[in-house]
């Protein structure tokens, strides 16, 4: 377990690096939002982050996120929860009820299920479309070549107006080309929000226009297996 002061140091350091990367890219630091990725982290670390005023968190599993965050909603009404992991159809309703942003819409079937869940829950999270920029078979995300058609279908067929795009570049590859590709797909589809960049590469992502960076281990240390 880390001490609260080490959590403070890590948040201070990541925020300073984010601001420096924004300024180096002639962007305003306030344009870039820090999503603290709390998945598989100890409760003590999360409570320390909440104590520091961090209110935006990312989780990759619906059930884990519900167990952790549902009980805290009342005490922290300004919480903003992002689903950053793949979403199974059978968890869509729970996801729509819990999350403020769902970053992993990536297929027509899920669009249909999400649209139904939004109607049923009477609650509309912001939606980002995940793009599999590296075309990795094991990874979620719509393929780059299919992205434009999918993005056009979303409002037309499903009544979903996506706010932007998300990607996770392949491990061990230079992420810059993937960030550039995501920014290009967003621009030509009139989308403004880009969720890209993790602990290892958030500064590069900010250079390529990221609006949200998703940072876990650089804030909280290694995840529990």
Provide the binding-site residues for ligand PLP, judged by CB under 6 A.
37, 39, 60, 84-85, 168, 198-200, 214-218
| Nearest alpha carbon to residue 214 among 199, 224, 194, 203 | 199
Residue 162 CB, shortest distance to ligand PLP, in Å, is: 17
Nearer to ligand PLP, 115 or 168 (CB): 168
Nearer to ligand PLP, 60 or 132 (CB): 60
Nearer to ligand PLP, 21 or 198 (CB): 198
Please say whether the beta carbons of 100 and 108 come within 8 A: no
Please say whether the beta carbons of 57 and 216 come within 8 A: no
Residue 103 CB, shortest distance to ligand PLP, in Å, is: 7
Residue 4 CB, shortest distance to ligand PLP, in Å, is: 20
Cβ atoms within 10 Å of 10's Cβ, excluding its own: 22
Using Cβ positions, the residue closest to ligand PLP within the complex turns out to be: 216
Residue 17 CB, shortest distance to ligand PLP, in Å, is: 13
Backbone torsions φ then ψ of 81, nearest 5 degrees: -110, 130
Nearer to ligand PLP, 85 or 134 (CB): 85
Nearer to ligand PLP, 115 or 210 (CB): 210
Strands 212-215 and 164-166: unpaired
Please say whether the beta carbons of 1 and 42 come within 8 A: yes
Residue 41 CB, shortest distance to ligand PLP, in Å, is: 9
Residue 147 CB, shortest distance to ligand PLP, in Å, is: 18
Contacts from 72-79 at CB under 8 Å and sequence distance 24+? 76/50, 79/55
Nearer to ligand PLP, 158 or 169 (CB): 169
- Per DSSP, the residues of 1-50 read ---HHHHHHHHHHHHHHHHHHHHHTT--GGG-EEEEE-TT--HHHHHHHH
Residue 199 corresponds to which tokens in the numbers above?
């602990």
Residue 57 CB, shortest distance to ligand PLP, in Å, is: 11
- Per DSSP, the residues of 119-150 read HHHT---EEEEEB-TT--TTS-SB-HHHHHHH
Nearer to ligand PLP, 42 or 199 (CB): 199
């Amino acid at each position: 377990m880390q001490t609260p002061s080490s959590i403070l140091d890590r948040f201070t350091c990541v925020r300073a690096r984010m601001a420096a990367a924004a300024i180096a890219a002639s962007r305003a630091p306030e344009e870039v939002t820090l999503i603290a990725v709390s998945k598989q982290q100890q409760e003590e670390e999360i409570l320390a982050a909440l104590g520091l005023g961090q209110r935006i968190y990312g989780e990759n599993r619906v059930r884990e996120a519900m167990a952790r965050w549902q009980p805290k909603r009342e005490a922290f009404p300004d919480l903003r929860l992002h689903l950053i992991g793949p979403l199974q159809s059978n968890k869509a309703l729970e996801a729509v009820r819990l999350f403020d942003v769902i970053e992993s819409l990536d297929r027509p079937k899920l669009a249909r299920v999400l649209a139904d869940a939004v109607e049923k829950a009477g609650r509309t999270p912001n939606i980002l479309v995940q793009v599999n920029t590296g075309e990795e078979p094991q990874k979620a995300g719509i393929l780059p070549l299919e992205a434009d058609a999918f993005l056009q279908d979303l409002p037309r067929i499903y009544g979903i107006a996506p706010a932007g795009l998300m990607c996770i570049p392949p491990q061990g590859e230079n992420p810059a080309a993937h960030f550039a590709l995501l920014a290009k797909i967003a621009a030509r589809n009139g989308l403004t929000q880009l969720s890209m960049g993790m602990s290892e590469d958030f500064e590069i992502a900010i250079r390529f226009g990221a609006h949200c960076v998703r940072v876990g281990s650089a804030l909280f240390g290694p995840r529990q297996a």
